[in-house]
Structure 1
């Protein structure tokens, strides 16, 4: 064993004890990560109005508990896009997970160990084949990027790798202006980039050491291997950016075409309006995600929990309705289910867990979500997540927002 490997083996961050809240995972992630890397995990568009509202809106909702007659056993299971989940939380697709050397593979293992599903980003740092090898409940997320032939080739590669469904993300406008300043992301991690980040890395030795294996430095991969054909090197994010900016945004006819090419489960992600939800049903989607891209799309868009209920009322009988945005605890999950979601997708929460303690940290976050859902059900006197409704909530006047109603 090399000296560096010996140091890593003894380093306490590798065996961090259990953290009891997602907020503590975030605190540990901030402490461990270089400022530039951590900033990418909390970034929001422009003034951050939406990213803040995504979280704060849950605090406006109360519970109407039943303390007598609580059942000793509670059913947390649900089914999303044909996959049975032991509790109503799955992993949302997020791009390049350079907070940990194992990235998406570590996250996929954690999700598999807890029996849940994972959305894998087109901009993941690990090839889809490596991720499906450790978790058989993977949904591949795809952007409208390049020609139809390019898009179809990526979808076909995902299917051949064993992905169970497709997630088409539509809520992204490439607005990179943030009032507090955006983190600078290098085009590739070369010697110049390493030298520039060295002052930050020196102050975060546990993060720096995590990129050494057997005494050798593992260069973080900022390429997107799932954009390329299988076996070919992935382009850098900035290479993809130029192609993306030259690709016209999809129409509903385009999405219908892709749906017709894909014979499995099909989610449209980025819905905040009732009319768009109905169009997704019309093109044959089997699921939608009520999403504003975690506050990284159009700033000023309301929190997803505010628009969820009317959308679920309109199309919940036709498609699986999911929500992402702002979930920090199991009680948030329960509030989303009470408005009609079948499950939620978490993003920042598991990334903080990954940064804090690798695969174990992601498992820790998922355990917190599961236990929080169970505790909230117990307090509400519910025996099954399927029995949740608005009657279980105290909803302030004017909380819900309705857009695109006929």
Structure 2
């Protein structure tokens, strides 16, 4: 199959990845109602088609956090490297020739946080994405069913069977690849190459006591741009602006935290109206096409971040898959702008929607 849409790459990823890995990427919290709403609420938005307008020179260029971006995607250009990413920052910089954004989880060990921030700054990172909606991890039943939440021999056997059912993945990753570790935390986690050891350390490091006071501390540690990711309420968006954050990401963590929380695209309009003139508003959750990007921009986002789509493309076809995915989305965005009669990203607004959805 020649993949054309995100759904195509998802099918290929499912065929290639061991089940526990695919479900880890795919799954959400609880009954996955918010996970489903992220996509469904995007699909419910209708666009106005306009004709006989001069759209000979459509321009999809934009900027995110002061960084040039062709389509307004916070993925690839630029890329956000997770605190718990497999590849260390130095490897990403060496491979790409530029520093990514750095995503931070607050840990109880503030010394470890300070070390992470110092390493990120020394590595060239100038934008920090602080995830604020993870005082504790959500209840993700797929991980429980696949033995990801247990360290027993039975759970290990279950995962081993799933790995052996994907010989291509075993050949490329287990045999042909290098030993995997959590590259940015290798100094903080003793025995960090062992999944169970690492999980135990992370579980102990989640800090439900984090509050807005910690943003002040974080601001003292970080000289660059600060984005707060995980905002769903107008009051929290206003507090983020008051804290000195340079931007926010309207996000429900891909439906992986509080099930029954609103879809990100539904929470976006009120937040954009409240703080969009004072800070940079991005969003994630449910973005599956260039058409969705247009919808998010029309509802007040400056740009979007994506997670599952690029992971599916990467799992299916490696770097070529991600490149092709972004190219398809760039083309979709350009065509959507053309058929909606708009030539510049800055001109996309709610008037291009028939009935913008609104959270009650």
- TM-score under structure 2 length normalisation: 0.91
CA contact (8 A) 2:99 2:123 kept: no
| Root-mean-square deviation (Å) | 2.5
> After superposition, what is the alpha-carbon deviation per residue over 1:370-392, rounded to whole angstroms, capped at 9, x for unaligned?
11111110110110111011110
SS of 2:268's equivalent in the other structure is helix
Indicate which of 101, 104, 108 corresponds to 1:146: 108
- Aligned pair 1:226/2:210, yes or no? no
CA contact (8 A) 2:127 2:224 kept: yes
* Alignment-derived partner of residue 49 in structure 2: 65
- Aligned pair 1:345/2:305, yes or no? yes
SS of 1:289's equivalent in the other structure is strand
CA contact (8 A) 1:312 1:321 kept: yes
Indicate which of 130, 138, 144 corresponds to 1:175: 138
User: What is the CA-CA distance between 1:194 and the residue it aligns to?
Assistant: 7.6
Indicate which of 33, 44, 48 corresponds to 2:17: 33
Indicate which of 83, 94, 102 corresponds to 1:133: 94
SS of 1:249's equivalent in the other structure is coil
- Aligned pair 1:269/2:213, yes or no? no
Cα–Cα, structure 1 residues 125 and 262, in superposed 2: closer, same or farther, change >3 Å?
same
User: What is the CA-CA distance between 1:220 and the residue it aligns to?
Assistant: 5.4
* Alignment-derived partner of residue 372 in structure 1: 332
Q: Compare 234-243 and 325-334 and name the one that shifted more.
A: 234-243
> After superposition, what is the alpha-carbon deviation per residue over 1:173-215, rounded to whole angstroms, capped at 9, x for unaligned?
3122428954323889xx9988654433343222222126xxx
* Alignment-derived partner of residue 147 in structure 2: 184
Q: Distance in 1 between matches of 2:280 and 2:319?
A: 28
CA contact (8 A) 1:132 1:163 kept: no
Q: Distance in 1 between matches of 2:275 and 2:167?
A: 50
Q: Distance in 2 between matches of 1:21 and 1:401?
A: 28
SS of 1:394's equivalent in the other structure is coil
- Structure 1's unaligned 5+ residue stretches are 1-16, 92-110
CA contact (8 A) 2:147 2:155 kept: no
- 1:3-402 mapped onto 2 (5 Å cutoff): 18-91=2-75, 111=76, 116-135=77-96, 136-172=98-134, 173-178=136-141, 182-185=145-148, 196-211=158-173, 216-218=175-177, 221=180, 223-229=181-187, 234=192, 236-245=197-206, 247-395=207-355, 399-401=357-359
CA contact (8 A) 2:133 2:230 kept: yes
SS of 2:281's equivalent in the other structure is strand
- TM-score under structure 1 length normalisation: 0.81
Q: Distance in 1 between matches of 2:99 and 2:142?
A: 38
Cα–Cα, structure 1 residues 258 and 39, in superposed 2: closer, same or farther, change >3 Å?
same
> After superposition, what is the alpha-carbon deviation per residue over 1:267-288, rounded to whole angstroms, capped at 9, x for unaligned?
0000001111111111111111
Q: Distance in 2 between matches of 1:126 and 1:187?
A: 25
> After superposition, what is the alpha-carbon deviation per residue over 1:73-104, rounded to whole angstroms, capped at 9, x for unaligned?
2111111112111110122xxxxxxxxxxxxx
Cα–Cα, structure 1 residues 137 and 341, in superposed 2: closer, same or farther, change >3 Å?
farther
SS of 2:229's equivalent in the other structure is strand
SS of 2:60's equivalent in the other structure is coil
- Structure 2's unaligned 5+ residue stretches are none
> After superposition, what is the alpha-carbon deviation per residue over 1:16-69, rounded to whole angstroms, capped at 9, x for unaligned?
x74211110001111122222211121110000100000000111100111211
Cα–Cα, structure 1 residues 348 and 257, in superposed 2: closer, same or farther, change >3 Å?
same
CA contact (8 A) 1:89 1:369 kept: no
Q: Distance in 2 between matches of 1:293 and 1:311?
A: 17
